[in-house]
Amino acid sequence: MSAATIALLGQPNSGKSTLFNALTGLRQHVGNWPGKTVEKKEGSFSYQGKEYDVADLPGSYSMSANSDEEVITRDFIASGKADVVCILADSSQLERSLFMLADYAGISVPCFLILNMADVAKDQGKKIDAPAIEKKLGIPVMLFSATDKNAYDQFYKTMERAIKEKSMLNVSALEQEYEKVDGYNEICGALADTVIPGYTPMWLTVKAMEQDKVVTAKLRNTLPDSIQKTVETLVKQSQGAIATGGCKFAWIDSILDGAVSESRTKVRLGKLDRIYTHKFWGKAAVILTVVLGLLASFIPALPVMALGMGVDAVNGMIRTALTDAGLSAFLTGLLCDVLIQSLSYVIKMLGFVFGVTLVFGLLEEVGVMARISYVFDNTMGRLGLQGKSVMPFLVSFGCTMGGAAGARVIDNWGQKVLTIALAWAIPCGAAWAVVPMLSTVWFGAGAPLVIVAILAVMVLHMWITSKVFGGSLVKKEDRCGMIMELPPYHKPKWGALFRYVLGRTKDTFFRVLKVVLLVSFVFWLLTFTKTGSMDNSILYRVGKFIEPVTKIFGLGWKTFMAFIASSIGKEGAIGVLSTIFTDHSMLTVGGTVAGGAVANINELLVANVAKPEALAFIFAITFNMPCIVALAATYQETHSAKWTAIIAVYYTLGALILACIAYHIGLLIF
């Protein structure tokens, strides 16, 4: 049994997740709210021998029912599941971020106020008198920096005080403001006897005046008809949200009056921001920043990738040793082709994930990510995304798993899933290694044309995919730009950043490894043969059997099997092709092929695969799902098996349709 449950409430970017992560470490569970496309984060921590539960509530700007996030947040709080609500505000822009507190006023759950980003406010030359604010509000108030390890002792004390005192927000000054508004007193009087648990009549009155959909519906069900009519007329006559909003800001002003002093005048745009906000150079600067970031992420990635290569080398030696020792082909295969091979696969990509999470985590932390959003919000908005999505897209040219990991910085779940779904259409590093080579083998000087066609299809694919999934993943109100103004730059907190990156990388490693092991094992079983001759394998028999169907997509059984193998990894396709065409003893999937083997099969490929089929095959593997590691990473980031499966099936079918189109175009040309 936990001593208390704390709910974190605050506008986006107020620091909820930073606080949540610091409190819970890896003792957290991320999922979705039942049936909703909204992320649910719960965790626990212990302090002085007591257990506490904590929930990171989805970001929203107010307590109105404008979005799923806001309704979920409101219902969670009003249901009494939390013993105390920790409201976060951004000290560097208190007037705006205290709006959440003003909107909370009237909900009957104890709360306390954390003025986060105290370090930023200090850098701006602001002095904030927390005790003075505390006196006016009647709840514990504290200046805080969620990124500062040393600030947590004080946080725990403030939290305990709020729990013990069951501190309630003093709303009398705010109510006095409301009472000045036409119609307020009458509506409040009419509602006085209505009880909706968790809310005071004042709060209900304000929401009724703001024509909040959920509250209006609730009142319609609870009020007697005559009173309900009166309320409706009064609401119509009132100035609604304009008037109540004015009251809230007036109240915030009165709270801050005398409690905040500013020694310096407003900071002007720095040199860097003048470039970022430039009409033309802004986009170029952002792309340059991301590309540099991408290159930088290779620095921490390389040693990890080298480790993966080391595993490969050891694997070869182990295989030889085991075969010499007379171990059965089955066990050797299981150990080398499934276990160790998967491990090396995951390690190689993990280096990139580590690098990307670190570099882009840093860019987020210092405030560069906000500039990226600012510059690309309009362009990405057309796809239903945020400006930040440009980053995972660029990363995906290197590695789709890195792109998926990079999508972590997108705080809207639906937009995150959509970003990853679109990123799958971007050919990754492995595709760029395989596809140009195959194009050259089959089309010689025509290869560049194939590449151009691939890029054009990529853009089209992303656009179509955004139309296909956008509707159900991204709601209309989220489709507008998010950034209203550029936040100040922050100094990075290296300790917190490294802890976060290492934690996430470790987490990714185990989760991804599990999926990769499972899928490789199944695939390996399908291709395993005792005698070593291909045509004993299940896959061969299935391939032969369904060839009439695969022919529709322009693929014979050989290229179709290579296509299936490319779902594991693009290199897998080459492995399968070389095995089949050189009639090699065994099918090694995902194994690296020596340059010699590839050179040998070139002529065989040209001789055995006609150009239309070759074209179909190239499009099929390019736009197939990127690889199982990317699949696993997608599952980890979206924590939705359903959406991961939908995207995977969509891409597999899409690749086959593209192959079919390419085949028929090929028939016309060649």
Residues that bind ligand GDP (CB under 6 A): 10, 12-18, 59, 116-117, 119-120, 145-147, 364-365, 411, 490
Nearer to ligand GDP, 478 or 571 (CB): 478
| Sequence-ordered list of residues with C-beta below 8 angstroms from that of 583, at least 6 positions apart, any chain | 534
13 binds, among Mg ion, ligand GDP, none (CB under 5 to 8 A by kind): ligand GDP
**Closest approach of Mg ion to the CB of residue 22, in Å:** 13
CB 440 within 8 A of CB 450: no
Contact status: 24 vs Mg ion (CB under 5 A): no
Report how far residue 228's alpha carbon sits from residue 240's, in angstroms, rounded to the nearest whole number: 17
Amino acid at 427: P
Is the Cβ of residue 13 or residue 400 nearer to Mg ion in the bound state? Answer: 13
Q: Which is nearer to ligand GDP, 146 or 454 (CB)?
A: 146
21 binds Mg ion (CB under 5 A): no
CA atoms within 13 A on the CB side of 491: 11
Rounded to the nearest whole angstrom, what is the least distance from the CB of residue 20 to ligand GDP in the complex? Answer: 7
- The residue range among 15-23, 164-172, 191-199, 497-505 that interacts with Mg ion, by the rule CB under 5 A, is 15-23
Closest contact distance (angstroms) between CB of 141 and ligand GDP is 15
Return the number of the residue (10 or 201) whose C-beta is nearest ligand GDP. 10
Nearest one of 592, 374, 385, 401 to 483, comparing CA atoms = 374
**Interaction between residue 13 and Mg ion (CB under 5 A):** no
Specify the residue, 120 or 633, whose C-beta has the smaller distance to ligand GDP: 120
508 binds, among Mg ion, ligand GDP, none (CB under 5 to 8 A by kind): none
CA distance 426 to 393: 7
- Measured from the CB atom, the residue of 337 and 411 that comes closer to ligand GDP is 411
CB of 210 to ligand GDP, least distance (A): 24
Buried b (16+ CB within 10 A) or exposed e, 68-101: bbbbbbbebbbeeebbbbbbbbbbbbbebbbbbb
Closest by CA position to 590, among listed 195, 315, 387, 272? 315
Looking at beta carbons only, is 339 or 366 nearer to ligand GDP?
366
DSSP character at residue 489: P
* CA atoms within a 13 Å half-sphere pointing along the CA-CB vector of 624: 28
- Euclidean distance between CA atoms 627 and 434, whole angstroms: 13
Query: Residue written as tokens 């920790």?
Result: 86
Q: Which is nearer to ligand GDP, 124 or 222 (CB)?
A: 124
In whole angstroms, the minimum distance from the beta carbon of 192 to Mg ion comes to 38
CA–CA distance, 54 with 82 (Å, rounded to integer): 8
User: In the complex, which residue's CB is closest to Mg ion?
Assistant: 17
Collapsed DSSP state (helix, strand, coil) of residue 103: helix
Q: How far is the CB of 410 from Mg ion (least distance, A)?
A: 10
Instruction: Quote the least distance from Cβ 638 to Mg ion, whole Å.
Output: 16
**Which three-class secondary structure state does DSSP give residue 6?**
strand
Report in angstroms how near the CB of residue 482 gets to Mg ion at its nearest: 13
Q: Does 17 bind Mg ion (CB under 5 A)?
A: yes
Chain positions contacting Mg ion, by CB under 5 A: 16-17
